[in-house]
């Protein structure tokens, strides 16, 4: 029989996938322990004796609903006006450009050193805009804020003092959430984002590993940007790319988890899909570009290993999808062999990757809120949602492998900050894409696997398949619910009052 002939390659691939997950799970636990126990690498910086020149760059593209909020906050930053320059790097093609022009003239008339920079084309997308702005930037330090952020008034006074350490290339702040309680869907995104900023970034920075600039809510030393080769646009992750190139040159990073810049989370699944696909594609493109340099660099072996795990982080979804597709075949082989429960070693290997992310998310929420009782349901749902987005992430990785040129997919912002805010009638709303149909097919496949496992009484595999099924049903159901006309009820992920779950 064909399946019997394929037993060895199928089990070998599945074993490789489980091994990769085991390693990823161990690393998540390791990073969580580091974040909890490792002391701060850079002590508190001395107070400023002088104020250096700082340029704040605001790259935007068609940001009708948030540009005023962004520019107002940037112009209100507490820094001597004669030492501060604001660059609105505006690649807009709609009425945003006219609103921006009016706002820039308004603040310039009030004595703010603010300039409106427009390019004839979008070559290089955000990286191209940042690089062009750098040519006329007056500051020796460059702060960057994306359109969905609200720069805190004291941001520069909290971050710039750390550049007293001469080899610091950039200082990164933590992301907060303007619209976290808008819906259950935004609450789940906040859980995942909090874990990155309160576990990953803390552990990597304090552990002496490479960490990434997050593209916004941070400040760069101009000298470090230029020494590393400037902003390059051959990947979709110019932030990750530049931060690694700078650290390979011997520059250091500082991460400040207690300095928070608030931003707007995507409120629709289609927008979130775009964001995750772009991040996955950009991260994998950076891995292809930078890993050979990391391997050749005179770095400690553990630093190289952590850099590889970091750059290849989204490959975990490729392995997740592989084991998901192979699970029915493993059920068949287990049934033929009369095995209905795995031995303890197999159970450990398969359960650790599932438990480690939950512990990782739990610690992130504990650091963010202290009280876990109300946050635990969101943690469990967020861990399940990871299975629901695996297809879009794998699509982003495959895009890098097969596409000759990567196109930037922007994540639209709508100025939504309260549960009462609505998308109805707003521009930039992304229509549902074909991925809903693909995810629905995979949900049906997962349901068949659950049924098959139940028929064979292999309960461990049933729970594993339920994990995928729940995640896919959540994402598909949310997508369909957000497609409903305004007069019809929406899904849970569109309902306000998420904090009362």
Q: Alpha-carbon distance 349 to 25, whole Å?
A: 9
Kindly name the residue from 90, 91, 200, 241 that is annotated as catalytic: 91
d(CA 128, CA 363): 37
Long-range contact list for 94-102, CB < 8 A, 24+ apart?
Answer: 94/62, 94/64, 94/427, 95/64, 96/60, 96/61, 96/62, 96/63, 96/64, 96/67, 99/64, 99/67, 99/68, 100/60, 100/67, 100/71
Residue spans per domain, the chain: 2-35+314-500
| pLDDT at residue 349, rounded to an integer | 61
Contact 389, 276 (CB under 8 A): yes
State the Cα–Cα distance between residues 174 and 254, nearest whole angstrom: 11
Catalytic, 91? Answer: yes
Q: Which of 90, 194, 200, 239 is catalytic?
A: 239
471: Cα within 13 Å, side-chain hemisphere: 25
Give the pLDDT of residue 484.
58
Predicted TM-score (pTM) of this structure = 0.92
| HEC secondary structure over 422-457 | CCCCCCCCCCCCCHHHHHHHHHHHHHHHHHHHHHHC
Tokens 């619209």 correspond to: 179
Q: What is the pLDDT of residue 346?
A: 61
For the chain, list residues with pLDDT below 70.
Answer: 1, 340-353, 404-406, 484-501
Instruction: Please report the pLDDT score of residue 476 as a whole number.
Output: 92
Catalytic-residue membership of 239: yes
394 secondary structure, DSSP code? H
CB 442 within 8 A of CB 475: no
List, for residues 127-183, the tens digit of each pLDDT value: 999 999 999 999 999 999 999 999 999 999 999 999 999 999 999 999 999 999 999
Cβ–Cβ under 8 Å, residues 151 and 261: yes
């Amino acid at each position: 029989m064909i399946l019997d002939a394929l037993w060895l390659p199928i089990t070998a691939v599945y074993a490789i996938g489980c091994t990769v997950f085991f390693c990823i799970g161990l690393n998540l636990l390791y990073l969580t322990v580091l974040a909890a126990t490792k002391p701060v690498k850079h002590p508190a910086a001395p107070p400023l004796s002088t104020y250096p020149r700082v340029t704040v760059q605001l790259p935007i593209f068609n940001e009708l609903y948030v540009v005023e909020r962004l520019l107002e906050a940037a112009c209100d930053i507490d820094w001597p006006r004669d030492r501060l320059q604001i660059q609105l790097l505006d690649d807009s093609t709609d009425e945003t450009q006219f609103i921006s022009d009016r706002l820039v003239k308004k603040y310039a008339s009030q004595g703010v050193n603010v300039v409106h920079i427009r390019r004839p084309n979008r070559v290089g997308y955000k990286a191209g805009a940042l690089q062009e702005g750098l040519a006329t930037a007056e500051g020796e330090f460059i702060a960057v804020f994306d359109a969905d952020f609200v720069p805190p008034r004291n941001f520069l006074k909290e971050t710039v003092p750390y550049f007293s350490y001469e080899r610091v290339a950039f200082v990164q702040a933590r992301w907060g959430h303007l619209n976290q309680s808008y819906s259950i869907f935004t609450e789940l995104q906040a859980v995942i984002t909090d874990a990155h900023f309160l576990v990953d970034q803390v552990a990597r920075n304090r552990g002496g590993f490479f960490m990434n600039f997050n593209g916004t809510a941070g400040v760069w030393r101009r000298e470090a940007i230029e020494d590393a080769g400037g902003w390059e646009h051959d990947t979709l992750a110019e932030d990750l790319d530049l931060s690694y190139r700078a650290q390979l040159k011997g520059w250091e990073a500082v991460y400040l988890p207690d300095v928070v810049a608030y931003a707007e989370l995507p409120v629709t699944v289609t927008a979130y899909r775009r964001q995750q696909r772009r991040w996955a594609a950009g991260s994998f493109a950076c891995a292809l570009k930078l890993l050979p340099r990391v391997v050749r660099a005179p770095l400690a072996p553990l630093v190289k290993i952590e850099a590889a795990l970091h750059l290849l982080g989204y490959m975990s979804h490729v392995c997740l999808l592989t084991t998901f597709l192979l699970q029915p075949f493993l059920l068949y082989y287990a049934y033929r062999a009369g095995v209905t429960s795995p031995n303890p070693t197999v159970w450990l290997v398969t359960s650790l990757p599932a438990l480690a992310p939950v512990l990782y998310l739990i610690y992130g929420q504990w650091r963010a809120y202290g009280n876990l009782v109300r946050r635990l349901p969101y943690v469990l749902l967020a861990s399940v949602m990871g299975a629901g987005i695996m297809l879009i992430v794998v699509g982003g990785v495959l895009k890098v492998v097969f596409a000759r040129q990567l196109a930037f997919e922007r994540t639209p912002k709508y100025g939504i900050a309260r549960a009462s805010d609505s998308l109805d009638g707003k521009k930039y709303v992304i229509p549902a894409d074909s991925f809903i149909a693909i995810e629905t097919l995979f949900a049906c496949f997962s349901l068949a696997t659950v049924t098959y496992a139940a028929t064979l009484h292999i309960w461990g595999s049933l729970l594993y398949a339920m994990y995928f099924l729940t995640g896919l049903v959540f994402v598909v159901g949310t997508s369909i619910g957000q497609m409903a006309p305004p007069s019809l009820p929406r899904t849970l992920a569109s309902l306000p009052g998420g904090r009362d779950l």
